[in-house]
Structure 1
């Protein structure tokens, strides 16, 4: 038997499936996950893909010939945008993302900042899509992972804020509940002095 949960891919008691709550969203998420994130203990992308019935997760680095993904991107029945901060990206708060008459698909890149940047550069077709970014004032709560800046969000936090800003009538807080439970589990497994030394000043 595999020591990893077949759903969340976490090992042993780290499985967070017991905290997952099914959620409904009119906005579809497409998560492009770097292979190094797939079984990482602190990875959060699967919280989104397991909670949302219309979230899809693809693992890889170069998706230029990934036919299932390209079919979704080229589907004229949807408007597809990518959540990635660029000089040309629009703030979600402005809600100026093109044709509002079409249902929305949003691509998220799941990886460290360095690996996400590499995936952005490899997949040039992403540059042809409208780009959006979250408000800069948002701060992450990833207490047990080093971040380059305060507003560097985990993938599940980014997904939560994205969906909450665009669909304020819906409650996506269970995404953060699962995220917080996952963090608390990892903290409890650390010797107190290790947590304090590495993360106590957060």
Structure 2
């Protein structure tokens, strides 16, 4: 079944008046499920899983059309991923309904220095209580913690800053400022900064904060496999099925399958 980013891409393609040609990418036929050459398809390896935390992708206009986009990878892995195209002059009512849904606690994931200090948070609400705790909560007037919903601004850095500053419906929401000493592993687009992460890396950091450590590992491993397949297809090289990327994904798959 197509996920949210796939559906958003199809809608964007339907509005296109000319084909989108990715700069630096290969021009051959692509798989509809993973956007790779059919000879390097990775759909059968997809580590989809259910998480308590969700992800809401606000995507710049042509971001869904870029084969190197990693918001797609987030939707591959995290079942509760929502995706919306961003426009300055109009807002999808479904997005507004999602942000107002009482089951979710939305967080705009963005560097804290660009937000008012009173909006900035470094952590998220605690994970769902155990069954015993739920029974205790049910007999009291204290509502259970809402599920974290991480709003990721998916585009170039300039586009993300524009989305952050020109989306009034985000202004009332807390801004989650990630603190990490990691170095980006993303190799498919050029960046002059090692501390600028791709969208799937940001999602993995968010999942760690929400206590979803297996989901974070799955996202990291899936990015590694995607990067390997993408670059091998671009350079017309065979896949190294026994390499580090696939071995790491197999380890995650075993953990997902464990009772």
Tell me the TM-score range normalised by the shorter chain. Answer: 0.7 to 0.9
Structure 2 residue runs without a partner (length 5+): 1-12, 14-28, 127-142, 238-259
1:78 is aligned to 104
TM norm structure 1 = 0.80
Alpha-carbon contact 1:91-1:134 (below 8 Å) kept: yes
Q: CA deviation at 1:147?
A: 1.9
Q: Deviations over 1:107-160 (max 9, x none)?
A: 111111011111112212212210002114122101232124111111001101
Instruction: Name 2:82's counterpart in structure 1.
Output: 56
RMSD: 2.7
Instruction: Note if contact 2:61-2:86 (Cα within 8 Å) is conserved in structure 1.
Output: yes
Asked which structure has the greater CA Rg, the reply is 2
Aligned equivalents of 2:230, 2:214: Cα separation in 1:
29
Q: Which residue of 2 aligns with 1:12?
A: 37
2:155 maps to 1:111: yes
**Structure 2 residue aligned with 1:36:** 62
Decide whether aligned partners of structure 1 residues 83 and 69 sit closer, same or farther in structure 2, where only a CA change above 3 A counts: same
Q: How many residues are matched?
A: 187
Q: Distance in 1 between matches of 2:236 and 2:33?
A: 28
Sort the Cα spacing of 1:171 and 1:120 in 2 relative to 1 into closer, same or farther, 3 A: closer
Displacement of 1:185 in angstroms is: 2.3
**Counterpart in 1 of 2:223?**
179
Rounded Cα–Cα distance in structure 2 between residues aligned with 1:110 and 1:77: 24
> Structure 2 CA distance, aligned partners of 1:144 and 1:65?
30
In structure 2, the partner of 1:198 is none
Distance 2:178 2:230 in 1: 27
Instruction: Note closer, same or farther for the CA distance 1:55–1:171 as it changes in structure 2 (3 Å cut).
Output: closer
1:26 equivalent in structure 2: 52
**Contact 2:74–2:81, Cα closer than 8 Å, also in 1:** yes
Maintained 8 Å contact 2:71/2:199: yes
> How far apart are 1:103 and its partner, in Å?
1.8
